[in-house]
Amino acid sequence: MSLIEIQDVKKEYKVRKYGKTYSLMAVNGVSFNVEEGRCVGLVGESGCGKSTLGRLIVGLENPSEGSIAFNGEIIHKNHSRKNPSKLRFSREIQLVFQDSYDAVNPKFTAKKIIEEPLKNFTDLNPSQRDEKVEELLEQVGLVKEDKEKFAMEFSGGQLQRVCIARALASDPKVFVLDEPLSSLDVSVQAQILNLLSDIKTEMNLSYVLISHDIEAVYYLADALVVMYGGQIMEKIDDLSYFEKMVHPYTKKLLSSIPVFEKRTDVTESAESIGMDVYVQNNTFKGCPYYGRCPDRIEECKESKPEMKELATGHFVACNVL
């Protein structure tokens, strides 16, 4: 049994455009597991459904279809109004946001920010809470005197540390990290990555690390899920298969990273139609990557590729492979 089991999850939004309402499948049939103490990297370009999936995992939203189980118990599924989700596990699954300046009230002190989950989830008295706040600040590489500082007085990297301390305060099992580095300077990104790596080991945490940047994910992840248009294109259970990833979209992602060897076999097709036409058209039956895929065949227009296991722990959804 995996710690988190995401089973065929879909999330539909009703969107109004030019006076018409249409349905947008932000997440369209996603399944993967998160093992205890492991980090699953979730990559794909902007708009592919990563944040929506993150919000579904932490229970900020409920799936339209499918289910999410934690420790073998279904915690989120399509609950009706009469039978709303209880979100009982929100203490154990914590979300760390992209932009820490957005995630906290700038006029709150670090202590007030970190103390909130301690008030909600523990029986600690005020002086014990104070001690715990100091301990958490030190755990994330800040000093205990920082507790009196206001959020707006911290740098971006420091405030991200405060947010990580707040997430740790509820003694979670899982962190869903939604682009935790993208608002930070490159030098600070490395420090936060190191911190995340250290506390993962110390606390035996499991991570879902969401990023459009496959390079940052590579550093921390044990497993990798590549999404496009709300669907999984390729996933590997073990990062040692990284070199063997074959989906045309994964290759495209990798080709944009300078540290990995440049691939010459993938170029954006000149007559590229762009993702939106196929992704946002809910009636399109084919592969979401059809419009941009350099390897597409006629079949890709007609049928959505099934997920198949190329090798143990290596799954790909592609009609060509």
Ligand X SMILES: Nc1ncnc2c1ncn2[C@@H]1O[C@H](COP(=O)(O)OP(=O)(O)O)[C@@H](O)[C@H]1O
Among 2, 7, 22, 24, the residue binding ligand X under the rule CB under 6 A is 24
Interaction with ligand X in 96-135: which residues (CB under 6 A)? none
The site partner of 74 among ligand X, Mg ion, none (C-beta below 5 to 8 Å per kind) is none
Give the number of other Cβ atoms within 10 Å of residue 180's Cβ: 28
Classify the phi-psi angles of 72: left when phi > 0, otherwise alpha if psi is within -120 to 50, otherwise beta. Answer: left
94 binds Mg ion (CB under 5 A): no
The site partner of 38 among ligand X, Mg ion, none (C-beta below 5 to 8 Å per kind) is none
Interaction with ligand X in 33-62: which residues (CB under 6 A)? 44, 46-52
Q: What binding mask, one character per residue, do residues 131-170 give for ligand X by CB under 6 A, x or -? A: ----------------------------------------
> Nearer to ligand X by C-beta: 41 or 49?
49
Interaction with Mg ion in 203-242: which residues (CB under 5 A)? none
Min. distance of Cβ 51 from Mg ion in angstroms? 3
52 binds Mg ion (CB under 5 A): no
> Nearer to ligand X by C-beta: 122 or 182?
182
51 binds Mg ion (CB under 5 A): yes
The site partner of 15 among ligand X, Mg ion, none (C-beta below 5 to 8 Å per kind) is ligand X
For tokens 């198949």, name the residue: 308
Under the rule (CB under 5 A), what is the footprint of Mg ion? 51
